[in-house]
C-alpha cells in the first residue's frame, strides 16, 4: 500500500481543535486516555481469543509499555492487544467520536453475547488528547489474526492524516508522540510513574517503562500495582492490605475505624471500598472545601472528591467507587447528575447508615468514639435528609443532665431509662455544657428523676425542629411554654399551687411586670423551679434565645422577642420582696430587686445582664447591706 493522505471528515478539524484546547482541564490526562485504550485493546484480544485461537496463537504475555527516547523527544505507548486493520484505522482515527471500542461493545450487545469485557473508551475522543502534548502523533498497528498487514497512521492535527504500510512483526499497537516544546516533563520516569500511579494504578496489565528508546526488558518492574482491591471478595482482602490502601488514599497514617466493602448488582452495578476514619480532619468543617469519594471507571481513576456520590453530611466517609454505569461527560472528568447517580448515592448512604447502626448496637464504645469525632457532621443529615430521618434519629447521641462529664446517651437509651411517669423527652438548648447543667429550667425535672438532653453543639440549634419525636415520645423544650410534669394528680396539684401563689403574690408580680414591661412579656409563677428564684421562658414556638443571639452575631435582623419571667413561689427572695411591698409600697429597693432578678435570669442562661455595670453595682450595694 502506497502512502496516502486523507482529509479529516467535514467539520472534524473544529472538533479536533476543541478536544486539544478545551475538552480536558489537564494536559496530563492524555496518558490516562492512551493507557485506557491500550487496556481495551488487550481486553478485546483476550475476549476474541476465547473462540478464535488464531488471535492468541503467539501465547502473549499481556503488557503495556511506555518507551521514552529523550534524544528524539518522543514518548511511545505500546500494547500487544488486538491491533487494527487499515480499514479500522481509517474509520476509528479518521472520524472523531466514532469509537472502535464503542462499536465493538455495541456489536456484542446486539448479538446478545455474555461476559462482555469491561471497556473503558466510550466516546472516541480520548485518543485525540495526545495532540495536547504532541506536535505529531504516529500509530503503527498490526491486527491479530492470519493474513493481516501492519499499517501506519500519522497526523500533525492540522486537518489531514496519512495512511501507509508499516513494518511490524508482532500484533498490537504503538502510538508515538513527538512532544511539543515545553512538554519534556513527560519524558521523565518519575513523572510518568506519578501519572500511572494516579490514574492507571489498577489497570489489570503491567505498565512498564524504558528510556532507552527500545521496549523494556521482560523483567522490568511494572509502574502499576494492578490490584483493584475493591474488586476482590471481602474474604480475599486482608486487614493489612485495606489499611495500606486507606493510607495511600487519604494520607492518614492511622488505620481506619471501619472498612466497608460494597458490591451491588442489579439495575445499577458498582463496587466500592469505603472507610470510616478514626479522627476528624481539620478541614472537615472548612467552608467551600470539597469532599467526596474517589471515582474509578473500570479501574481507571477519573478523579477525587466526587460529591454527587455522597450526601454532604457523610463527607467524613473516604473511599472509592468503581462502576461501568456512571454517566460521565465526554471528557470523563465530571459526573452528570441523573437517576444512576442517585441510585448509587442512595445505596452508599444506606450502607453507611446501616454500618453505623450495627456499630452502635454491637460496639457501643467504638460508636461513641466515632460520634464524638463526627457527630456534629452527621447531625446535618437531620436537617437535610428527610428520607433517612428515622435512621439518623436512631444514630444521634447527646449529653444529658444526669450523665457525668462528656458522656453521651442515645435517644433509644434515654427512652429506655425514662420513669413510668415520664411521657415526654425533655431537652434544653444552651451555648455550653456548664451553663446547661446549672440552668434553673431543669431543676424540677432532675429532682423528680427525669433526665434532660443538653443540646450544646451549634448545629443542634439548626436541627432541633426535625427532632419532634422519637419512638412515639414528643420532644419538649424545657425553656419554652408551660411545663407540666408528672402524673395527672401531680399536675393538678402543681397547678393548684401556682394558682394560689398567683393570688398571694398578685401585687408583687404586677409591680415587677410594670417595672420590666420593656423587657418581659409576663411575670408568673412556675412549677419548673425548685432552687433558683427565677428563669426566663420563651413562647412554645418562639426562637430559641441562643439562636437569637447567634443570628444577631451574624448580622441578621431578628425581631425582639419578649419572654416570660417565671418566679419560684418558695424562694426566700420572693418572700422577702413580698414583705417589703407590704411594709412600704414605695420602697425603691423593689425596682432594684426586680432588675436583679431579670439580670440573674439572663446570667443563668449564659447571656449578659441588660446593663452589666448597673447589675454589678446593685449586687455590691446589696452585699454592703448584709
Distant-in-sequence, close-in-space partners of 241: CB < 8 Å, separation ≥ 6: 229
How much is the pLDDT for 18? 59
How much is the pLDDT for 464? 83
Q: Give me the helix-helix angle, 572-583 and 506-515, nearest 10°.
A: 90
Q: Which of 66-80, 90-104, 501-515 has the lowest mean pLDDT?
A: 90-104
How much is the pLDDT for 123? 36
143: left (phi over 0), alpha (psi -120 to 50) or beta: beta
Read off the pLDDT of residues 178-202 as tens digits, 9 standing for 90 and up. Answer: 999 999 999 999 999 999 998 899 8
Q: Looking at the domain 4-210, which fold is it?
A: Heat Shock Protein 90 (3.30.565)
At residue 143 the predicted structure's pLDDT band, cuts being 50, 70 and 90, is very high
Q: 524 or 550: which carries more pLDDT confidence? A: 524
How much is the pLDDT for 318? 94
Instruction: Kindly give the residue spans of alpha helices, DSSP state H, lying in 289-423.
Output: 339-362, 364-378, 380-384, 389-395, 411-417
**What gap in Å lies between CA 64 and CA 80, rounded to an integer?**
7
CB-neighbour burial class of residue 583 (10 A; exposed 0-12, middle 13-18, buried 19+): exposed
Asked if residue 471 has pLDDT above 90, the reply is: yes
Asked if residue 26 has pLDDT above 60, the reply is: yes
Share of the chain above pLDDT 70, in %: 86
Q: Which of 104-113, 365-374, 595-604, 613-622 has the lowest mean pLDDT?
A: 104-113
How much is the pLDDT for 59? 85
Pick among 3.30.470.20, 3.30.230.80, 3.40.50.970, 3.30.200.20: CATH of 229-358: 3.30.230.80
144 CA to centre of own chain? 46
Instruction: Kindly give the residue spans of alpha helices, DSSP state H, lying in 516-588.
Output: 545-553, 572-583
The grid coordinates listed for 321 are: 467507587
Read off the pLDDT of residues 474-506 as tens digits, 9 standing for 90 and up. Answer: 999 999 988 888 788 888 988 999 999 999 999
Distant-in-sequence, close-in-space partners of 212: CB < 8 Å, separation ≥ 6: 67
**What gap in Å lies between CA 491 and CA 494, rounded to an integer?**
5
How much is the pLDDT for 101? 47
Most confident of 85-99, 176-190, 223-237, 321-335: 176-190
Q: Which CATH superfamily is domain 488-625 in?
A: Heat shock protein 90, C-terminal domain (1.20.120.790)
**What gap in Å lies between CA 27 and CA 29, rounded to an integer?**
5
Contact 246, 259 (CB under 8 A): yes
Asked if residue 547 has pLDDT above 80, the reply is: no
The grid coordinates listed for 103 are: 462499536
Average pLDDT of the residues in 406-418? 95
The grid coordinates listed for 341 are: 447517580
Q: Which of 116-125, 232-241, 436-445 has the lowest mean pLDDT?
A: 116-125
How much is the pLDDT for 404? 86
Most confident of 170-174, 236-240, 456-460: 170-174
How much is the pLDDT for 22? 54
Q: In Å, how far are 150, 158, 304, 365, 399 from 372, measured between CA atoms?
A: 65, 60, 27, 11, 11
How much is the pLDDT for 33? 87
Q: What is the mean pLDDT of the chain?
A: 86
Only one residue has cell 503495556, namely 64
Average pLDDT of the residues in 526-552? 82
Average pLDDT of the residues in 139-157? 91
Q: Which of 94-103, 226-235, 411-420 has the lowest mean pLDDT?
A: 94-103
Asked if residue 25 has pLDDT above 90, the reply is: no
Read off the pLDDT of residues 256-279 as tens digits, 9 standing for 90 and up. Answer: 999 999 999 887 889 999 999 999
- Which CB contacts under 8 angstroms, 24+ apart, belong to 15-22? 15/96, 15/97, 16/96, 16/128, 16/131, 16/157, 19/96, 19/125, 19/128, 19/129, 19/131, 20/128, 20/129, 20/131, 20/132, 20/157, 21/132
Average pLDDT of the residues in 596-602? 94
How much is the pLDDT for 10? 45
At residue 106 the predicted structure's pLDDT band, cuts being 50, 70 and 90, is low
Q: 614 or 282: which carries more pLDDT confidence? A: 614
How much is the pLDDT for 57? 86
Q: What is the pTM of this model?
A: 0.77
Q: 552 or 220: which carries more pLDDT confidence? A: 220
Read off the pLDDT of residues 452-461 as tens digits, 9 standing for 90 and up. Answer: 999 998 888 8
**What gap in Å lies between CA 422 and CA 451, rounded to an integer?**
10
Write out the CATH class of domain 396-477: alpha beta
Asked if residue 13 has pLDDT above 70, the reply is: no
Instruction: Kindly give the residue spans of alpha helices, DSSP state H, lying in 50-142.
Output: 86-94, 100-110
Asked if residue 548 has pLDDT above 80, the reply is: no
Distant-in-sequence, close-in-space partners of 138: CB < 8 Å, separation ≥ 6: 152, 153, 154, 175, 176, 178
Closest CA to 97 of 26, 28, 11: 11
The grid coordinates listed for 256 are: 481506619
**What gap in Å lies between CA 232 and CA 162, rounded to an integer?**
44
Asked if residue 105 has pLDDT above 70, the reply is: no
CA dihedral (487, 489, 495, 498) positive or negative? negative
How much is the pLDDT for 104? 46
For the chain, domain boundaries: 4-210, 229-358, 396-477, 488-625
How much is the pLDDT for 17? 62
At residue 236 the predicted structure's pLDDT band, cuts being 50, 70 and 90, is confident
Q: 50 or 121: which carries more pLDDT confidence? A: 50
Asked if residue 122 has pLDDT above 50, the reply is: no
How much is the pLDDT for 491? 85
How much is the pLDDT for 119? 45
Read off the pLDDT of residues 200-212 as tens digits, 9 standing for 90 and up. Answer: 998 989 999 999 9
How much is the pLDDT for 287? 61
Closest CA to 171 of 142, 134, 150: 142
Asked if residue 334 has pLDDT above 80, the reply is: no
Within this chain, domains 229-358 and 396-477 share the same CATH topology = no
DSSP state at residue 328 = B
Backbone angles phi, psi at 311, to 5 degrees: -70, 155
Amino acid at each position: 500500500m502506497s502512502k496516502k493522505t486523507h482529509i479529516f471528515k467535514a467539520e472534524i478539524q473544529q472538533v479536533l481543535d476543541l478536544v486539544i484546547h478545551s475538552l480536558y482541564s489537564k494536559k496530563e490526562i492524555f496518558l490516562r486516555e492512551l493507557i485506557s485504550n491500550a487496556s481495551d485493546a488487550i481486553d478485546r484480544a483476550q475476549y476474541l481469543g476465547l473462540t478464535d485461537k488464531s488471535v492468541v496463537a503467539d501465547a502473549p504475555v499481556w503488557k503495556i509499555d511506555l518507551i521514552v527516547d529523550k534524544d528524539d523527544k518522543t514518548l511511545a505507548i505500546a500494547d500487544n492487544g488486538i491491533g487494527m486493520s487499515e480499514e479500522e484505522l481509517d474509520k476509528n482515527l479518521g472520524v472523531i467520536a466514532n469509537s472502535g471500542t464503542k462499536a465493538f461493545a455495541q456489536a456484542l450487545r446486539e448479538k446478545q453475547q455474555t461476559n462482555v469485557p469491561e471497556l473503558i473508551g466510550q466516546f472516541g475522543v480520548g485518543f485525540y488528547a495526545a495532540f495536547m502534548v504532541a506536535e505529531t502523533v504516529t500509530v503503527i498497528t498490526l491486527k491479530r489474526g492470519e493474513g493481516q498487514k501492519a499499517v501506519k497512521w500519522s497526523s500533525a492535527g492540522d486537518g489531514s492524516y496519512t495512511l501507509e504500510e508499516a513494518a511490524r512483526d508482532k500484533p498490537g499497537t504503538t502510538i508515538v508522540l513527538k512532544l511539543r516544546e515545553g512538554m519534556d516533563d513527560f519524558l521523565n520516569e518519575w513523572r510518568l510513574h506519578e501519572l500511572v500511579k494516579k490514574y492507571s494504578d489498577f489497570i489489570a496489565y503491567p505498565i512498564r517503562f524504558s528510556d532507552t528508546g527500545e521496549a523494556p526488558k521482560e523483567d522490568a518492574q511494572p509502574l502499576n500495582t494492578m490490584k483493584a482491591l475493591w474488586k476482590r471478595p471481602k474474604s480475599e482482602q486482608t486487614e493489612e492490605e485495606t489499611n495500606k490502601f486507606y493510607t495511600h488514599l487519604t494520607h492518614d497514617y492511622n488505620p481506619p475505624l471501619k472498612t466497608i466493602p460494597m458490591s451491588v448488582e442489579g439495575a445499577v452495578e458498582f463496587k466500592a471500598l469505603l472507610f470510616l476514619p478514626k479522627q476528624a480532619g481539620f478541614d472537615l468543617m472548612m467552608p467551600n472545601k470539597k469532599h467526596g469519594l474517589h471515582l474509578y471507571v473500570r479501574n481507571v481513576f477519573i478523579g477525587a472528591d466526587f460529591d454527587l456520590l455522597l450526601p454532604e453530611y457523610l463527607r467524613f466517609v473516604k473511599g472509592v467507587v468503581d462502576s461501568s454505569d456512571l454517566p460521565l461527560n465526554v471528557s470523563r472528568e465530571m459526573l452528570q447528575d441523573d437517576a444512576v447517580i442517585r441510585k448509587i448515592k442512595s445505596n452508599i448512604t444506606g450502607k453507611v447508615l446501616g454500618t453505623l447502626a450495627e456499630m452502635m448496637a454491637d460496639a457501643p464504645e467504638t460508636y461513641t468514639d466515632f460520634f464524638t469525632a463526627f457527630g456534629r457532621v452527621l447531625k446535618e443529615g437531620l436537617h437535610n435528609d428527610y428520607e433517612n430521618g428515622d435512621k439518623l434519629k436512631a444514630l444521634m447521641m447527646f449529653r444529658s443532665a444526669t450523665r457525668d462529664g462528656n458522656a453521651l446517651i442515645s435517644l433509644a437509651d434515654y427512652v429506655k431509662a425514662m420513669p413510668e411517669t415520664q411521657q415526654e423527652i425533655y431537652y434544653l438548648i444552651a451555648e455550653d455544657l456548664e451553663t446547661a447543667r446549672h440552668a434553673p429550667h431543669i431543676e424540677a425535672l432532675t429532682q423528680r428523676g427525669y433526665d434532660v438532653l443538653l443540646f450544646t453543639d451549634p448545629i443542634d440549634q439548626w436541627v432541633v425542629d426535625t427532632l419532634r419525636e422519637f419512638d412515639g415520645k414528643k420532644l419538649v423544650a424545657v425553656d419554652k411554654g408551660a411545663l407540666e410534669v408528672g402524673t395527672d394528680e401531680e399536675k393538678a396539684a402543681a397547678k393548684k399551687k401556682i394558682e394560689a401563689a398567683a393570688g398571694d403574690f398578685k401585687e408583687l408580680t404586677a409591680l415587677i411586670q410594670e417595672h420590666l414591661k420593656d423587657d418581659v412579656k409576663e411575670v408568673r409563677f412556675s412549677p419548673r423551679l425548685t432552687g433558683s428564684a427565677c428563669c426566663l421562658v420563651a413562647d412554645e414556638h418562639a426562637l430559641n434565645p441562643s439562636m437569637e443571639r447567634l443570628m444577631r452575631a451574624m448580622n441578621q435582623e431578628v425581631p425582639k422577642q419578649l419572654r416570660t419571667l417565671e418566679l419560684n413561689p418558695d424562694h426566700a427572695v420572693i418572700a422577702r420582696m413580698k414583705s417589703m411591698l407590704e411594709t412600704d409600697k414605695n420602697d425603691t429597693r423593689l425596682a432594684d430587686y426586680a432588675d436583679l432578678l431579670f439580670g440573674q435570669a439572663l446570667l443563668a442562661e449564659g447571656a449578659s445582664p441588660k446593663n452589666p455595670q448597673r447589675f454589678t453595682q446593685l449586687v455590691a450595694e446589696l452585699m454592703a447591706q448584709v
